[in-house]
Each structure stands twice: as structure tokens, then as C-alpha cells.
Amino acid sequence: MVLKSFFTFLRNIFSGTLHFCEFQIRIIHKNGLYDLDEECVGNLIQRDYPTSDPLGCYVNVNSTVTFNGLSDLNISDPYKDRNGLMDPGLCIIHCADYLFKFVALSNGSECRCGNQNSLEGFTKVNDTSCNITCIGNSSYMCGGVKSYIVYDAETSLSSHKPPNITINEKLAIINNLKNDVSYLGCINENPSCNQSTFNGTSQNLPNMTIDKCVEICEQNNFKYIGLGLGTQCFCTNNYNNVSQLDVIECSSSCGGNSSQICGGPLAISVYNASKIVTTTPTTTAKTTTPITTVGTNNGINTILISVLIIVIVILIIGLLFCFTRLRRSDINNESENRNMDDVRNRNLVEGESQNLDEAHDNETENHHTETPPNDS
């Protein structure tokens, strides 16, 4: 656990932003050096800050407000401040979760979402016209009385990615939660430092799913799981459910499965870990693709693991077969070499014997030739 925390610490340093519950360190790169500014902004837990500048300050040039994407989805519009927490990060996540292109903040606390053509009815003006600070973080401007500070919802928050499903599929998934017996609702996350609504084990994974969170919590014998911001998993055996929010507030798709809901900005989706079941939401889209349900990823993983095991077994059998053939070939070669050596040695012995016989015969013949005749 200590090593894991240490490596997480290093990773956060190199990513550019380091957050703690008790305090927050914002690391700003200046001329190759890092300046550390320790603070706990409003005593809040980790918040998400824009990673790019706003597109500018805009005012409406006609009477029609075009940043009305939420009302088109029958969602409360504008998205109002919740407990004094509204800031660009909260608004960007809310609009990105519902697949909008633009984010517009006004009056210090109001969040609106817009589609591709939303800026057509607006004119860019001097930034001084957007002079009201955000109620949730005075370091940022949240528009003016009749002016809007505008962000690109798709690119302004690199840590939060929109889901890879259609808006109709997203709404169908959210509406279908009421039919899930394991779903217990969407509740407020405690905004104070080190005072999370769920006080047990917690973990943050970019590919978080309901299944992963259940596994994490059941390993530690927790009864309830809570998911937030698409990647956060919390565990507890008791929680306060009096702070129920509208189901729309839990808007974030799970990072590892877009067909599942994993909380939202400062909102937690609560499930009973022992009652997690597979559900198939019905979408209202005219042309939709099949929705992946809880447990599908596990089935795919099982198939992939089975295929991998089969491939490994085949490779092992192939290697054993090749080794056996090579071994037999070596034995045959050794046998042939021994036979050739025996023949060669036999030939040498026979040759030497023949040479000895010839030498003996020559010696005998010479002896007879050199013997002198008898003169008697």
C-alpha cells in the first residue's frame, strides 16, 4: 500500500496537478521550474480545473438564447449552483456527460450547455464583460449578468472524457436505473476535505466499472458501493441517504463501460453490492447499437483468457514435438558416428596385421637369400 501510494504520488507530480484531501498543491510550470502553492480551496475535496483557456466572453445579439441544450433534453436548465460549488470544472463535466459541444457560465453560478451551432447567436466581447467570479471558486470567472464565459466541453478538461454512446442511449440508461434492484439512488458527495460520504475503502481507476467497484468493496467485506465522476469507487457499510439528488445529477458514464453510470460531479451513484444484476436498458434512439450490460466485459475477458490458454498449450505441445524430433535425430547421428568409428578402427587393425605379415615374409625371404652356400 505504501509503495502504491508513493508511485501514485510520483505519477500525479509528472501529470502536472497534485491533489490531497487536507490540502491541494497546484504545480505551475514556469521557465522549467515548479512553483508549489499549498492551499485548500474553500476546504473542498479534489476538484477538476479546466486544462485549457475559455473561448472567450460572449453576449447574445438577439432575444433567443441558444445555450439551451439541457432544456431540449427535459433537464433542468440552467444547471444551477449546488451548495455553493459551481465552477467551470463542475459545468464542463455536466455538459460533457450529456455530449454537448459548448459550456456557458453566467451570473457566477449558472451553467448552460450548447450544441455545435450555439455560438451563432452570440458575439465575442471584451473579457471585462464577464466580471462575476464563480461562487465555487473565486479564482475563475463565471460570466456576467447578461454575458457568458464559454468553454469547449470536449477539450477543456483533459481528465474527463465524454462517453462513446449516443445521447439517446445515455438517457435510456439513466431512466432504466429505476428498474435496477441494486441501484439505491444518487446522493450528494460531501464537499469538505477528508469527509467523504463513504468512509470505507476508496480507489480511482480510469477504466472503472460497477463490476470492478463491487470486486474492490466485497474483498473488504463492504455492503454498499458508491461511484463518482466515472472513475471513483467508494465502499461503506453505512451511509446517509437523506441527501438524495435527482438521478440526472449522476451523469457520468463509467470509464470502463459507457453503458453504466458511475456518479457525477460531487454526486455518488449508490448500489447494493450483493444485489448487482445484469440489466438491459431500452433506448429511444431511432438507430442504436446494442448496449453492453453489466458483466459483458467479464464474459469477453473469460473468452480471451480461454483462447490465450489454448494458444499457450498448442505452443508447448509444438515445442515438445520439435524437441523430441531433435533428440531422436541426435541419437541417430551418434549411432551412425559410432558405427563409422568401429569400421574405421577395424580397417586400421586389419591393415596393421597385413603389414606385419608382409614384413615377416620379406624378412624370411631376405634371410634365405643372404645365407652362404656350404663349401664342403
Question: Could you read off the pLDDT tens digit of each residue along the chain, which spans 376 residues?
Answer: 334 434 444 444 343 333 333 333 332 232 332 232 333 344 444 567 788 899 999 998 876 667 888 888 888 878 876 677 889 998 999 899 999 999 999 999 999 999 988 888 899 999 999 999 999 888 999 999 989 999 999 998 887 777 889 999 999 999 999 888 899 999 988 766 556 677 778 888 989 999 999 999 988 899 999 999 899 899 999 887 767 888 888 989 999 999 999 998 888 999 998 877 544 333 333 333 333 333 434 455 567 677 778 878 888 887 787 777 777 766 766 666 676 766 666 766 666 666 666 666 666 665 555 555 555 4
pLDDT at 12: 40
The set of cell numbers assigned to 263 is 456518479
The set of cell numbers assigned to 188 is: 450528494
- For residue 192, what is the DSSP state? B
Torsions phi, psi for 330 (to 5 deg): -65, -40
Residue 84 backbone class (left: φ over 0; alpha: ψ -120 to 50; beta: rest)? left
Q: In sequence order, what E strands does the chain have?
A: 17-19, 24-30, 33-39, 56-60, 102-106, 110-114, 122-125, 133-134, 137-141, 147-152, 183-188, 202-204, 224-228, 232-236, 244-245, 253-254, 257-261, 267-272
What pLDDT sits at residue 36? 27
pTM over 0.95? The answer is no
Whole-number pLDDT of residue 278 = 41
Residue 58 CB burial class (10 angstroms; 0-12, 13-18, ≥19) = buried
Q: Is the distance from CB of 206 to CB of 255 less than 8 angstroms?
A: yes
The DSSP output letter for 286 is S
Q: Judge contact between 294 and 278, C-beta under 8 A.
A: yes
CATH number for the domain whose boundaries are 167-287: 3.50.4
Q: What is the pLDDT of residue 348?
A: 67
Residue whose C-alpha is closest to residue 239's, from 261, 219, 217 = 217
pLDDT at 343: 65
Start and end residues for every CATH 3.50.4 domain found in the chain: 167-287
